Amino acid sequence: MRKKLLALVLILILTTVPGCTQNGSDGEETGEETGEETGEETGEETGEETGEETGEETGEETGEETGEETGEETGEETGEETEEETEEEGYVLADYYPFLDNTVYTYQGDGNEYASFIMNIDAYKENRIQTRTNNGGTEMVRVIEVKNGKITRIFSRPECYYRENFLTKAAEEADVLLMEPLEKGTEWTTPDGYRRYISAVDVEVETPAGTFRAVEVTTESSGDINKDYYAPEVGLVKTIWESKEGYTVSSTLSSMTRNQPLVQHIRFFYPDNNVEKLYFVDRNISFDTNDITRIVLQEAFKELPSGKVARVLSDNVKINWLYLNKDGMVYVDFSEELVRDMNAGAGYESLILASITNTLGNYYGVERVYLTVAGKPYASGHIEMGRWDYFKVNTDNALPLQ
């Protein structure tokens, strides 16, 4: 517990990393919209862009833009030679936090076992990007917004081992990482009241991934000093934290790997062919940037592993929405084909529902799953669930698939 807390504290100290050039916001559904945590803990919420009504209203996107892209050059001459060089190269604020598909940033650490970390890009849309950072002790999801001449961290979710889209969430914080004008002396105050400023521009930073010309951002906090280095078209290339006691922790970019999706290790449950037992198998599931989690899991369920297992979902079944709500319960809604195509006796039906419940509950790390069909409580010839009746995870009798 102490190690996990230490990892979480360190990952909070180290500033967020970027993604790449914005090239995927084309009006199509590019991320799983959830709408969870609206302050109500008793209603269904989806927020997913399904394009049609699937049941109860759940916080779907209204189609309004979440923010206008900024990052334009100010056009003002600063008199600084290094700033003039930056302008001549045509770099703007957004270049220092680029949005890239399927790019993995790897940082090598020094001074602490949790200073090394990797960062994936979960999703991005318009002027927001969602990153996932794993330092070996915990995973942190953050949403960064590039708007009004500022790069700002607006949302953080610690201990987030599941994949969910938070891009449309209301801002819960306003921690400015970098702001215009991109010149030495630009200064602002952090939410904690600390002084943060651009201390240098066009600084040469050597890393295992290469040598970069970067903007240096310094944060002074109660005697401690943190320096972050942002390079155009890459993002964060190095961060150094120096305590007032002289202790130093650093994280330095060691590689940037393209065309590499996020891979999660997910346990799936299946009935056996004889409809007597419940089996499980651990599978590596790949998520591309902007993939929709519910669709990826939906298709993964339909791909049966080798072995004597029976299907959980027919080819026609769709997951209309899927998210973890503020009440600590997973909400999942299926199309009517879940019941219509099941054609199962009471025993098989119970094992199908147990497979769904155990898989989703295990993935989100909770014990309760509220399962509906076309927006209504689950109902079949054998099982009738009332409103807000949920299924509970139970893996006691599940066996590993041989």
91-95, 111-115, 188-192, 343-347: lowest mean pLDDT where? 343-347
Residue 32 forms part of a structural domain:
no
Do 240 and 287 share a structural domain?
no
The total of structural domains in the chain comes to 2
| DSSP-derived pairing of the beta strands 248-257 and 262-271 | unpaired
Do 128 and 7 share a structural domain?
yes
pLDDT of the residue at 89: 66
Residue 84 forms part of a structural domain:
yes
CATH number reported for the structural domain that contains residue 131 in this entry: 2.40.360
At residue 122's C-alpha, the angle toward residues 22 and 89, to 5°, is: 30
332 three-class SS: strand
pLDDT of the residue at 69: 39
Do 236 and 123 share a structural domain?
yes
Residue 63 forms part of a structural domain:
no
Do 181 and 302 share a structural domain?
no
Burial of 275 (0-12, 13-18, 19+ CB in 10 A): middle
Nearest CA to 185 out of 197, 202, 201, 203 is that of 197
How far lies 390's CA from each of 170, 184, 270, 376, in Å?
28, 57, 20, 12
Do 237 and 173 share a structural domain?
yes
Nearest CA to 185 out of 166, 199, 201 is that of 199
Do 225 and 93 share a structural domain?
yes
Sign, Cα dihedral of 145, 179, 103, 255: negative
7-16, 167-176, 279-288, 387-396: lowest mean pLDDT where? 7-16
Do 97 and 9 share a structural domain?
yes
Average pLDDT of the residues in 46-53: 38
| Final residue belonging to a domain, choices 238, 257, 276 | 257
* 22 pLDDT more than 80: no
Q: In the predicted model, what is the mean pLDDT of the chain?
A: 84
How far lies 293's CA from each of 133, 262, 288, in Å?
18, 12, 10
| Final residue belonging to a domain, choices 257, 278, 304 | 257
Do 193 and 166 share a structural domain?
yes
Compute the distance between CA of residue 338 and CA of residue 336 in angstroms, rounded to an integer: 5
Do 225 and 327 share a structural domain?
no
pLDDT in tens, 66-77: 333 333 333 343
Residue 156 forms part of a structural domain:
yes
Residue 37 forms part of a structural domain:
no
> In sequence order, which ranges of 14-159 are alpha helices (DSSP H)?
81-88
What residues contact residue 381 under an 8 Å CB cut-off, 6+ apart?
none
The parent domain of residue 391 ranges over 262-400
Query: Percent of the chain beyond pLDDT 90?
Result: 74
pLDDT of the residue at 133: 98
18-32, 134-148, 164-178, 380-394: lowest mean pLDDT where? 18-32
Kindly indicate the confidence band of residue 59, based on its pLDDT and cuts at 50, 70 and 90. very low
395: Cα within 13 Å, side-chain hemisphere: 21
Residue 214 forms part of a structural domain:
yes
pLDDT in tens, 214-236: 999 999 999 999 999 999 999 99
Do 335 and 281 share a structural domain?
yes
Compute the distance between CA of residue 127 and CA of residue 76 in angstroms, rounded to an integer: 24
| Final residue belonging to a domain, choices 257, 277, 304 | 257
Q: Determine contact, residues 368/399, Cβ cutoff 8 Å.
A: no
Across 60-76, b (16+ Cβ under 10 Å) vs e yields bbeeeebeebbbeeeee
Do 267 and 253 share a structural domain?
no
Do 238 and 100 share a structural domain?
yes
Across 332-366, b (16+ Cβ under 10 Å) vs e yields bbbbebbbeebebeeebbbbbbbbbbbbbbbbbeb
Residue 284 forms part of a structural domain:
yes
Nearest CA to 320 out of 30, 34, 25 is that of 34
pLDDT of the residue at 273: 83
Residue 226 forms part of a structural domain:
yes
pLDDT in tens, 24-35: 333 334 344 444
